[in-house]
Structure 1
Amino acid sequence: MDELGAGIAQSRRTVALIKSAAVAERERVSRLFAEAAAILQGFQAEVLSFIDEGEATMLGRSQGDLRRQEGQRSRLSRARRNLGQVPEADSVSFLQELLELRLALEEGCGPGPGPPRELSFTKSSQAVQVVRDGLASACTSQWEQLQGLGSDEDGLQKPGTEADAESQDPESANSLESEAPRDYFLKFAYIVDLDSDTADKFLQLFGTKGVKRVLCPINYPESPTRFTHCEQVLGEGALDRGTYYWEVEIIEGWVSVGVMAEDFSPQEPYDRGRLGRNAHSCCLQWNGRSFSVWFHGLELLLPHPFSPTVGICLEYADRALAFYAVRDGKMSLLRRLKTSRARRSGTPASPVDPFQSRLDSHFAGLFTHRLKPAFFLESVDAHLQIGPLKKSCISVLKRR
């Protein structure tokens, strides 16, 4: 009975601890959800205000033209009516009305300016759609991680456990890993030049190395390879064998960098044509808060902090694409995309990773195409520069 009494006391303390921890966690979660809702509401208010301001500005001009044309038509109608009512013998009145009609005609009665070629606020829905997609993907990813944690302490998976060791099997690694110095990658340096015939009309190119997203469309010549629904641009030349390495400097905004199949249609709609949202491309995205990788419409959030310079290494022989943070000549692996090897018999199964499952199913098919470096500028004023592959620090641009 003494032993049972001690056990009961311990169990009661455990029950109380679980209940108090659950209450505290509910409060924290509720507070975080409230903060997230406040952020979304603030963003909604800003976007709606942006639409209202754009509408008011454009309506002011268009309604002014409308009132001017209606006033001209009214004066002409009145002058014509008055002229028709003048008696034939009253030459003085006839000349006066004729002069009035002439003055009305001299004001001009041609059509006003046509509708604007681009409404500045019509890109708002695309920005909100990007936020919605990112939120939905993040919620799905985090929920799957929560479900995989288990309900007891013994089942909790911690970094560095067998599951991580399985994913970092040395047999699946090669020389292009995070501990390799930057000089090693420079042996595979590939000079990327932007192809102006692929640039969307809302992208302004600076030579062949820089690109920025703008509000006003640029009058590019017609081209069958030009993107029409996504603010994207490709690099010149197509890659189909060997190893290639290039670097990109993120100057401002939401930017995605990666590769895209040469034969992918640039006329695909926005939801399927964006980099990483189809089976013909994949990318690393910086969304202003965090890095993530996209492939075939699925996103995987990465825990790494922002790095303005990103290295991309395409390995055709290994059918792999790796992204690195480059800082002061040091390489830090963000993520290496590659199909996993078949599990050896007798090896325990690890929790299912939806993103890796998507890679295992479709990623190898990407390498059956010739690939091109690809860039997607998601936010207004997004700006990137293809870095010069020097051995010294490549950050040569002054940031705002």
Structure 2
Amino acid sequence: MPADPFDWITEAAAARHRAGLVRTLRPRPARETLLDLASNDYLGLAHHPEVVDGATAALRRWGAGSTGSRLVTGSTELHAELEAELAEFCGFEAALVFSSGYAANLAALTALTGPATPHRLIVSDAGNHASLIDGCRLSRAETAVVAHADPQAVAKALDGHEGRALVVTDAVFSVDGDEAPLTALAQVAADARAALLVDDAHGLGVLGPGGSGTPAAHAVAGAPGVVATVTLSKSLGSQGGAVLGPAAVIEHLVNTARTFIFDTGLNPAAAGAALTALRVLRREPALAQAVRDHARALHTGLTAAGLRAVRPDAAVVSVAAPSPEHALTWAADCRTAGLRVGCFRPPSVPDGISRLRLTARANLTAEEIDRALTVIAATAP
């Protein structure tokens, strides 16, 4: 009998078990009984009645699916409305909506580095999200990975380069929740005649005037050479992603970005939910401040309890664990005590440090924050 060609998968699974790195799907019920400090629903809008109604209205008007790629039948008037309002709110000339933030990042990196030439350079922060890393790889451009949040390292990588160059960074890094030095990075990129691509997945709805995003907070939104990507699945409580930038860049993506041209368009219900959530945020800009206040309250309580927590710049609060095994046990004990927290371990973390990842929400109460802090401290390894 021939050998099983997937024997290597069994061996890889055994190695994951030995290293304490097994990941398990945990389907949650429709009615959540746990206090949630794990989701990315930063503004608490995923279940907001107006947002749900926006999704339902779009579903009834446009149908369950977009029915095709954006260039065939997948673009509706609703998509165009969402793109126009999103670009205006964030301070950019134009926007293009994708089926996910991951697809938006792949599109931006592969399309903005242009046709293959010997002189294409991407300078990428060492802490960037996996979607940015994958985009760099797919672009086939030379990629220089530089020290985390270090504008001088970026300047050094760009020094002497002759040709097309793109600096890419998360605006708020997803693991520790720290903010990139965007003002300095924009200046370094401009000085080197390089473009700057900012992934604002964790900044939209949390940072900037009224939650308009990290580029707006640093006064670089709409600046020449600056492009941003966002997700609709975090602060806006929906699904999908978008690229924001000059109209010429957006037109270029429509014509060249493979994850736009060959992917089915974002479904209408998600577009309707995202547009409604954006309008709720514009009407209630204090939601952004509430998220930041609650994140700081979590950090203050964690450090007061003697835990090693990273000071949050946005909604994410990271708490170091001694090992992957300790992180898993800690998260499981929190769950048993009625609290859902994120658990990040290698290889998902670039620094190799396992941690609990907590996410603040605008609609957390003081009592819920106190309860979460009590559980985390009581179950700490």
TM-score tier after normalising by the smaller chain length: under 0.3
TM-score (norm 1): 0.26
User: Per chain length, whose mean CA-contact separation is higher, i.e. which structure has more relative contact order (CA < 8 Å, sep 6+)?
Assistant: 2
Q: Which has the larger radius of gyration?
A: 1
Normalised by the length of structure 2, the TM-score is 0.27
**Hey, which of these two has a bigger chunk of strand by percent?**
1
